[in-house]
Every structure is written in C-alpha cells, then in structure tokens.
C-alpha cells in the first residue's frame, strides 16, 4: 500500500536547543538535481539576536575552561561525527552531487580536520605567546586570549568540510560562534548541530542558523555584541557591506580570498591567529 511521505522540517540550533524560527518562515531544500529533500527554518533577525545572546552567555565558561579540556571536548565531537559517518556521507553526496567515494573522502577529511584543530587547543598559547626581552627589572609576557563571539558565514559550496574548516578554529581558540550555514546545502550543517548537541560542547558555544547569508550577514556585522566576523559565505557585494557595517562597532573582519579556497589543502594557522587577542603583562622581578 502506498503512503504519504512525511517531509522533514529542520529547526535552528540556538543555546543547545532546537527552536523553530520565530518568524515561522521555512524554505525548501533540494538536492544537486533540484529534487526536494526537506524544509529548513529561515532564520530571522530576532533568531540571530537570540543566538548572539546564547553565544555571549556561553563564552565565559568555554573560554575559562582549560585548553586541555576544550581539546577533549572537541575530540569528542570528532568521535560522534565518525559514528554518524554514513549519514554525513549520504547528505554530502546528495547535497553536493558527489559520488559515494568522493563523499566518503570529503567526510573523512572533515573528521580529520576537526581532530587537527582539537589538537591545537593546548598549543596556541605556546605558539602565539611569548616571553618578551625587556631592559629593566621586569618580566614581560604576551598571552593570547580569545576575542569573544564570532559570527561565521559558512561556505556556500562545501557543505561539511568547508563548514568544519571555518567553525573548528573558532572553538579551538576558546571563542563562541554564531554560524549561518550554506543556504542551498544546509543538511550536513544541521546534522553537525545534532552532533554538537549530543556531545560535550556546552549549549550556546555553537549556534547554527539556516538562512541567507545576504540577509543575516549584515545583521551579524552590525551587532554590537559580536567581536569578529568571517565573511567566507558572502558574495563580493555582501563582503563590502559586511565590512562597512562592522566598522560601526570596530569589530574584526577576517580577510578571506574571493570565492572558496581548496578546503582539502592544509589549513595552516591563520584562522587560529585571527580569533586571538594578545595580552601583554608586566611584572617586577623579586629582589
């Protein structure tokens, strides 16, 4: 007997919970050939403000945790991703129009990328900090500290590997994040939200919004409680507008290349450095 297919409507991920958009808006998600897959919530400005509030509330506990503990938490995320590998492969394949083998390679690279950043949590202080030479009876130390709440416009094309590559360094440095996923390919981001919710990441450290970067990006950039913005998922005109809006609150805008980079290449340390603020401390030597 035939039956009516139950279409999924995915929700947002804010403060460790999965609310509907306060606007009630949704939009259809299709595969690479235009076939319907599901509905996704269309985040509004109010949803974005709620996400920023949740990220700010979570920032103190996350940044105050030991670097080793943050590394353990992020490694746990990679473990859960590995456990849901088949789902990620299926969603990446259908979203990006990839073969099974290619999708498997992308998912494996995304898990490995998350593990790589997890390993950096307790090393950034040594790499980016310093004991400064001074002419006088003082110690001078420079210590990197997390910048705060980071708004991330995720890549539009690379729905998982690109997403992991822009979100993981934010968390590794002790910052919290408000992420706008790929609009046309949000399913891997939604599944990643479920992974975060069922791992050890405190609620609010990552908030995932589905919607349009062109709509949400400028609101992120103008929000006074957001400290930095990654405009990767915005187009050229959107990046100009984001830079203009960010100037009003003197927030950092990550410098990213036009288009999307090759996410399979080695990530380097640039994104880790971008979310750290150097704090220099002077202390007199003992007699």
Query: What is the DSSP pairing of strand 149-153 with strand 228-230?
Result: parallel
> For 50-92, how does the pLDDT look when each residue is reduced to its tens digit (9 = 90+)?
999 999 999 999 999 999 999 999 999 999 999 999 999 999 9
Radius of gyration of the chain (CA): 20
DSSP 254: -
What are the tokens at 104? 């498997």
**Strands laid side by side in the 252-253 sheet:** 206-209, 176-180, 149-153, 228-230, 252-253
Residue length of the chain: 287
DSSP 44: -
How far is Cα 284 from Cα 266, in angstroms, rounded to an integer? 42
Residue 235 phi, psi (nearest 5): -80, 180
> For 142-173, how does the pLDDT look when each residue is reduced to its tens digit (9 = 90+)?
999 999 999 999 999 999 999 999 999 999 99
Per-residue pLDDT, 287? 57
Percent with pLDDT over 90 in the chain: 88
């Amino acid at each position: 007997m035939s039956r009516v297919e139950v279409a999924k409507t995915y929700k947002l991920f804010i403060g460790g919970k999965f609310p509907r958009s306060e606007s009630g808006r949704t939009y259809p998600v299709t595969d690479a050939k235009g076939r319907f897959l599901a509905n996704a919530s269309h985040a509004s400005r109010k949803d974005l403000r709620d996400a920023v509030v949740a990220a700010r509330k979570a920032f103190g506990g996350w940044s105050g945790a030991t670097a080793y503990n943050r590394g353990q938490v992020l490694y746990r995320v990679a473990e859960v991703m590995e456990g849901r590998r088949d789902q990620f492969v299926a969603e990446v394949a259908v979203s990006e129009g990839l073969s099974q083998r290619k999708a498997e390679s992308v998912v494996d690279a995304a898990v490995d990328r998350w593990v790589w950043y997890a390993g950096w949590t307790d090393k950034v202080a040594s790499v980016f900090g310093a004991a400064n030479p001074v002419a006088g009876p003082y110690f001078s130390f420079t210590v990197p500290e997390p910048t705060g709440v980071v708004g991330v416009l995720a890549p539009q094309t690379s729905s998982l590997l690109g997403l992991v590559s822009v979100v993981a360094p934010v968390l590794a440095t002790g910052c919290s994040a408000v992420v706008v996923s790929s609009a046309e390919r949000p399913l891997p981001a939604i599944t990643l939200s479920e992974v975060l919710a069922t791992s050890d990441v405190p609620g609010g450290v990552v908030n995932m919004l589905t919607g349009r970067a062109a709509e949400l990006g400028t609101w992120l950039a103008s929000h006074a409680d957001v400290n930095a913005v990654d405009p990767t998922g915005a187009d050229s005109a959107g990046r100009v507008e984001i830079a203009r809006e960010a100037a009003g609150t003197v927030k950092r805008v990550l410098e990213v290349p036009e288009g999307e980079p090759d996410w399979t290449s080695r990530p380097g340390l640039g994104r880790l450095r971008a979310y750290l603020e150097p704090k220099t401390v002077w202390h007199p030597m003992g007699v």
